[in-house]
Amino acid sequence: MPREDYIATVGLEVHCQITSNSKMFCGCRAGYGHEPNTNVCPVCLGLPGALPVLNKHAIEQTILAGMLLDCHTPEISKWDRKNYFYPDMPKNFQLTQFDIPLCIGGGVPLYDLAYPKDVQNKIPNPGKVVKMNRIHLEEDVAKSTHFDSHSTIDFNRAGTPLMEIVSEADIDSADEAYAYLKSLQQILIYGKISDADMEKGQMRCDVNISVRPVGTTELGTKLEVKNLNSITAVRKSIEFEIQRQCDEYDKGIAQQQATIRWDDAIGETVVMRIKEDSADYRYFPEPDLLPVLTGELVEKMKAHVPELPHHKRDRFVKEFTVSEYDAGVLTSERALADYYEAAATGAKDSKKVANWLINTVLGKLNETFLSIDQSPVTAVALRDLVDLVEAGTISNNQAKDVFTALWESPEKAPADIAKSMGFEPADNSAIEAIIDEVIAANPEKVAEITGGNPNLANWLTGQVMKVSRGKANPKMVSDSIAGKLGL
């Protein structure tokens, strides 16, 4: 049967490190890029007799993440031991949460711009919110690196506060999974809960995939792809695994629940082991940690809930009259949204500021491999530059030259740069004289314009700009020509 005769069901388990100065159950420094095995102690090394102590900040940040994703936090949350035997967890169990996690339910809105670019114009379920099951807090494991003849383990990562964000089986395709991860990443960064950088291992993903024939309701056998460390790998592995399962169903090959991995080199999934169920982990309540009463923490974190991307996008559309698409671009990063709001507030034309930011500033940042936080041109300087254009002091083309100079000398004011470059505002009477001369010199064009082709007036504007050597304000010229020709 063709692929269209099967329904794919996908669920994601996202592991995301919380930004924290210390680890989850000890005082060791948390962070990325330190010398291997230097941020360790008896607790995170799992030495006998070491006792855990809770990281209050990590608990608060997890509750905040739940608020951003419309989760419910129970009044009491407890800790459990998940037993397994791997070198990256030497005490042979992980401190985690099983039946009473910090956050329950909720959902992740799929932002249009979070989808892969090749599908943004054909999103099958626009506005979809993927249902979540839970967010629980646990400790991260050590980092294992495998070589041909040996493996190394770095315990710096062991014990880092780690949220596991578990979706329901509510994702229909690889593209939706991609959008889910991008949207989730964006929300966590907005909340300053995590940098969620997959390249640094701050965010990792396990993917559960099953298929079933159209017309059936019972989910197919689930296979889990473990430890994916890029959103692109998540998309590729889902696309491959859905097609593989469909092909095997066609051949009458039954699926067996298993843990698999994605081999990017060959572009295929590979079976690692037959999948364990939760009973195999022998969960039981952690005897060394008391349950957490969450009431006061929930009240405290309410004051820390930021304006989320979709709320900020809607406000930008109303307040700054930008298009929904532009508002989506401007709110795609918190730092970018903050930059735009600072530049647009008090500007003569907030839409023009958005155009300059998206087309000119971001283009230059991409060209120079800088982030918006590193932009030499400040938000205030951009607003002042656009205001010069709107005031008729300089033309749009002149403003581009000023921007280039401003990028190299950000300590200077745009108006001072414009003056030093000789971009003085043109004398209006002189410009009016030029307009009259251009109209008089082109009677055939004027006749064609007044005869039913008003768009040709742009040609006259271009002639005026050429004669004035770019000093005239194009909008003022266009308006004057339209008035003189009765358009």
| Token couple for 79 | 């800790």
H/E stretch holding 336 reads helix 334-344
Instruction: Give the pairing type, strands 223-228 and 258-263.
Output: parallel
Domain segments of the chain as ranges: 3-301, 309-420, 428-485
Q: Rounded to the nearest 10 degrees, what angle do helices 457-467 and 428-441 cross at?
A: 130
CATH number of this structure's domain 428-485, picked from the four choices 1.10.10, 3.30.310, 1.20.1260, 3.30.40: 1.10.10
The neighbouring-strand residues paired with 171 are 10
Per-residue pLDDT of the chain (487 residues; tens, 9 = 90+): 677 889 999 999 999 999 999 999 999 999 888 999 999 999 999 999 999 999 999 999 999 999 999 999 999 999 999 998 888 988 999 999 999 999 999 999 999 999 999 999 999 999 999 999 999 999 999 999 989 899 999 999 999 999 999 999 999 999 999 999 999 999 999 999 999 999 888 999 999 999 999 999 899 999 999 989 999 999 999 999 999 999 999 999 988 899 999 999 999 999 988 766 667 789 999 999 999 999 999 999 999 999 999 999 999 999 999 999 999 999 999 999 999 999 999 999 999 999 999 999 999 999 999 999 999 999 999 999 999 998 878 888 889 999 999 999 999 999 999 989 877 666 677 788 888 888 888 888 888 888 888 888 888 888 888 887 766 777 778 888 888 887 7
| Token couple for 58 | 């990590």
- The answer to whether residues 269 and 259 touch, using CB atoms and an 8 Å cutoff, is no
Q: What number of other Cβ atoms are within 10 A of residue 260's Cβ? A: 21
Exposure on the CB side of residue 248, measured as CA atoms within 13 A: 15
